[in-house]
Amino acid sequence: MKKFMLIAWNVVTGLFVLSLTLWLAGPGISEAETTQYNLWYLLILAIWFIGLSLQFKNKFKTMGVIITLFPFMFYLAITFRALAI
Model pLDDT for residues 16-54, shown as the tens digit of each residue = 999 999 888 887 776 777 777 788 889 999 999 999 999
C-alpha span between 78 and 10 (Å, rounded): 20
C-alpha span between 71 and 25 (Å, rounded): 14
- The upper half-sphere exposure of residue 9, i.e. CA atoms within 13 Å in the direction of its Cβ, equals 20
- pLDDT recorded at residue 35: 72
- pLDDT recorded at residue 30: 67
CB 21 within 8 A of CB 45: yes
pTM of the predicted model over 0.85? no
24 or 11: which carries more pLDDT confidence?
11
